[in-house]
Amino acid sequence: GRNYFNRYSAPETDEDEFADERAEILAEAAALKKSAVAYMHPEVGVCSEDATLFGRNYFERASAPDVESMEEAEERAKILAEAAALKQLASDYMHPEVGVKTTDPTLFGRNYFNRYSAPETDEDEFADERAEIL
C-alpha cells in the first residue's frame, strides 16, 4: 500500500509544539479582535450566555454570616448539649410531680445475691478447705 503521509506530494505538517503554539497565537488574536470590536462599538452592548454570571454567591456576600471553624462548631454543639441537659435537670427539680419515666428492664430486676435474705456464701479459702475435708 501507499503511505499518503510520507509521500513527496503530501502537504507539509507542523510538529506538535509548533501546532500548539500556532493554536495559542490564533486564540489570543481572536480574543484581541473581540476586545477591539467591543471597545470600538459600545452601542452593541454586552451579551453573555454563561449561567454563572447570573448566579448569586451566598457565601462571600457582605451580608453572609461568618463561617465558623470545625472546632467552633464542636464547641457550640457541646455547649448546646450541656444547656439542654441543664434545662432538663431544672425542669425535673422544679416539677417533682411529673415523676421519673423509665423503660429500662434492668431497673425492675432483683439482685438475688446481695439481698438481705440471701444465704451467706463462703469465701474462696473456706470453700477450698471444705472441699478438701469432704
**In a 3-state reduction of DSSP, which class is residue 29?**
helix
Grid-cell match 477591539, residue found: 36
**The pLDDT value given to residue 121:** 67
With CA atoms as reference, report the closest residue to 92 among 79, 78, 102. Answer: 102
Instruction: Tell me the pLDDT tens digit for each residue of 94-128.
Output: 988 888 777 777 777 777 777 777 667 666 677 77
Instruction: Tell me the pLDDT tens digit for each residue of 19-33.
Output: 889 999 999 999 999
Q: What is the DSSP code (8-state) at residue 105?
A: G
Between 122 and 2, the more confident residue is 2
Instruction: Give the pLDDT band (50/70/90) at residue 88.
Output: very high
**The pLDDT value given to residue 14:** 65
Q: What is the largest CA-CA distance in the chain?
A: 119
pTM above 0.85, yes or no: no
Instruction: Tell me the pLDDT tens digit for each residue of 42-87.
Output: 888 877 777 777 777 777 777 767 778 899 999 999 999 999 999 9
Q: What is the dihedral of CA 95, 97, 98, 103, to 10 degrees?
A: 130
Grid-cell match 463462703, residue found: 122
With CA atoms as reference, report the closest residue to 46 among 55, 57, 37, 59. Answer: 37
**The pLDDT value given to residue 1:** 60
Rounded Cα distance between 45 and 100, Å, is 74
